[in-house]
Amino acid sequence: MSLRALKAISFVLSVSIGLVAAFISVDRVESLFPSVSATTISDSVKTPYDPFLVRFSEAVRDSQAIGRISVLPDQPFRTEWRDGGKTLAVMPEGRWDAGSLYRLTLSGGKDGFLKTVPSSSFQISIPDYPGIVNFDPENGSKEVMLDIEDPVTVVFDRSASDFYLDFRLSPAISVAYENDGAKTKFGILPKEAAKPGTEYTLSVYAKWRGEQDGAFRFLGETRFITAPEKPTEWAKDLDERVDQAKRYARPLRTVGKYIDVNLESQIMTIFENGEVLDAYVVSSGKKGMETPKGEYATRNKTPRAWSSAYGLYMPYWMALVSDGKIGIHELPEWPGGYKEGANHLGVPVSHGCIRLGVGPARRVYEWAELGTVVIVR
């Protein structure tokens, strides 16, 4: 056989083998269908503004997909092909309806090999706004004492981390708020004194991060009435009340250092060897959690104690009982940095401790020694 004949036979064999390989390759592509992967379609939708992402195993000819994409319920949308035709993004004209269930249908088309892509259908759940499961105080509550240990609390059924929240107190008072790490529970506290015997409404609004300010949506509200002002013979003006204590307070101990706490006047007076050194406005335990009367002594001291029971810092702490549940300290602080306002001094609102304002707390802390007598009366 001639050399030319051998070359001709070799060429035919090469072409045949190539055709077989080509058919194997096409069959292999065919075996990958259905070529739509829904593994990330739900995960890609975090807000009502996110696109539905559909991934294909091979590039799809976008011209073949025109008119083959539908969304139910009907919603205006636009499409965008990404990753060289392997990813289809279906984007809303505006936003999807929060909390709704959509069905995305691809009625078929051609892949890069002109093979038909079978029809596929997917359900996509759009995230909803967080729901409020609990208010404290409850709607309709009366004689409410708001305090850093007892703020208004709002509990949601899921994390609000994807939202901006707006807590509005009416009559209008600016508020501070703190949340747990999961952002499911929020504590809200007025930055100034709430008026006694007044009905307040806390309304909660939310908007998705990235939305315009006007997009806030109402989530719920609670109404409550603050406790009425307690009549007293002591001066209502706290500075006058302090002056009264300095003039009229009489020591129950005349030797050494001694701290006197008058629950009626909400005044602490410090004495040394029977002489008044100074007097300060305090806040003792509220109704139902009253600071117990009696004679105590400072048991331990620390400049910045942490209360695991209430999740608060208690600066200039001095314990009065062995279990540490009652003590003297400065106005408490949330971990986020917000400090209880001085507007609650002169009013019994604590959970039993005796609070002092900024300045006086440090003064008393540095003056009092371990074992200093404290009389609560």
pLDDT tens digits, residue range 18-72? 333 222 222 222 222 334 443 445 566 888 999 998 887 777 766 556 677 889 9
Are residue 91 and residue 156 in the same domain, yes or no? Answer: no
Q: What is the pLDDT of residues 154-179, one digit of tens each?
A: 999 999 999 999 999 999 999 999 99
294 SS3 class: strand
Are residue 281 and residue 372 in the same domain, yes or no? Answer: yes
Q: What is the pTM assigned to this prediction?
A: 0.75
Domain boundary among 202, 226, 250: 226
Domain boundary among 78, 100, 125: 125
Residue at 17 is within a domain: no
More confident residue, 262 or 235: 262
CATH number at residue 184: 2.60.40.1220
Q: What is the pLDDT of residues 25-35, one digit of tens each?
A: 222 222 223 34
Are residue 324 and residue 367 in the same domain, yes or no? Answer: yes
Are residue 76 and residue 206 in the same domain, yes or no? Answer: no
Q: What is the distance between the alpha carbons of residues 211 and 163, in angstroms, rounded to a whole number?
A: 9
Residue at 55 is within a domain: yes
Are residue 244 and residue 361 in the same domain, yes or no? Answer: yes
Are residue 115 and residue 167 in the same domain, yes or no? Answer: no
Rg of the chain on CA atoms, in Å = 36
Residue 260: closest CA among 270, 247, 273, 250 = 270
Q: How many helices (H) and strands (E) does the chain have?
A: 4, 26
Are residue 155 and residue 270 in the same domain, yes or no? Answer: no
Are residue 152 and residue 49 in the same domain, yes or no? Answer: no
CATH number at residue 344: 2.40.440.10
Residue at 293 is within a domain: yes
269 burial via Cβ count (<10 Å: 0-12, 13-18, 19+): buried
Q: In the structure encoding, which two tokens stand for residue 16, read together? A: 């045949």
**Strand pairing report for 141-144 and 217-226:** parallel
CATH number at residue 95: 2.60.40.3710
Domain boundary among 76, 104, 125: 125
Tell me phi and psi for residue 277, to 5 degrees.
-95, -40
Q: How many domains does the chain have?
A: 3
Residue at 15 is within a domain: no
Task: Give the range of the structural domain holding residue 214, as residue numbers without chain letter.
Answer: 132-226
Residue at 12 is within a domain: no
